Amino acid sequence: MESFSAENASGYLKVALAAADKAAKISRDYYAGNFTVTTKADMTPVTQADVECEQAIRDVILGAYPEHGFYGEETVRTQEDAEYLWLVDPIDGTKAFVRQYPFFSTQIALMHGGELILGVSSGAMMDELAWAEKGQGAWLNGKPLAISRIDDPDRAAVSTGNLKSLAASDGWSSLGKIVERADRIRGYGDFYHYHLLAAGKIEAVIESDVNILDIAALSVIVTEAGGVFTNLNGEQPDLKIRSVLAANPSLHRTYLRQLKGCVT
């Protein structure tokens, strides 16, 4: 596979890409700082851009598939028990967006019968658009993605994201052993380190404080690029996921032995 052909895209993917494009236009327009910020009950920020992006995505998706469920970050969730359920984070990384650094993205995933089958990850300010469908490979800006084959922990580049729960658990020392051996430790965060992982530029991502909307699309992309994507107990992503261990198959096995049971 040398480049992506739109002929290979399902109707679902075409709709998801169209929705992501609408959201990218909105987030770029607001990025200069002309927006209001409010605080939700969980003490996280929300902006006009979050709400408008999600509404635009919702209009595109439910306009095409009105019978599908919609599980979004900001608007009313509908038909959560539907056979097809769209999972949407209109601006994943709102704190980054508010402070005007570009590590935010739009995340759109499709779940069928409880299984994630499609993911689109759009980093508008970094010109990165990644997508994947089950069985069809993973792509970044139209080029195929493939996970790294480095299987030696001493040569691995590991990126960490949110770690509060892990830091407060017995697993902190286990993470320390991984850090001690790794060739490089980085904290790219949010969507970006998953794009790097899927592209074979780093070997693993470890996080302990996420939700399904943060990682649903990215899990499909990493998996279709040849990686393994689970929580820190080795379980597949579901609506209750709270942690991530994503890596190539060999390093995933190695790190899972060290981290399993640390946090849920």
Residue ranges of domains in the chain: 6-144, 157-259
First to last CA, the chain: 37
pLDDT at residue 225, rounded to an integer: 98
Q: Which residues pair with 47 in a beta bridge?
A: 37
In eight-state DSSP terms, residue 150 is: -
Cα distance between residue 149 and residue 250, in whole Å: 8
Fold topology of 6-144: Fructose-1,6-Bisphosphatase; Chain A, domain 1 (3.30.540)
Q: How many CB atoms lie within 10 A of CB 176?
A: 11
Which residues, in sequence order, are CB contacts of 48 under 8 Å at separation 6+?
Answer: 30, 35, 36
Mean pLDDT in order along the chain per 10 residues (264 residues): 64 97 92 72 74 95 97 85 95 80 92 97 95 96 97 97 91 94 92 97 96 97 98 95 96 96 76
Q: Does domain 157-259 have CATH number 3.50.50.60?
A: no
Q: Is 157-259 the same fold as 6-144?
A: no
Q: CA–CA separation, 89 vs 237, rounded Å?
A: 16
pTM of the complete model? 0.93
Q: Give CA–CA dist 42/198, Å, rounded.
A: 31
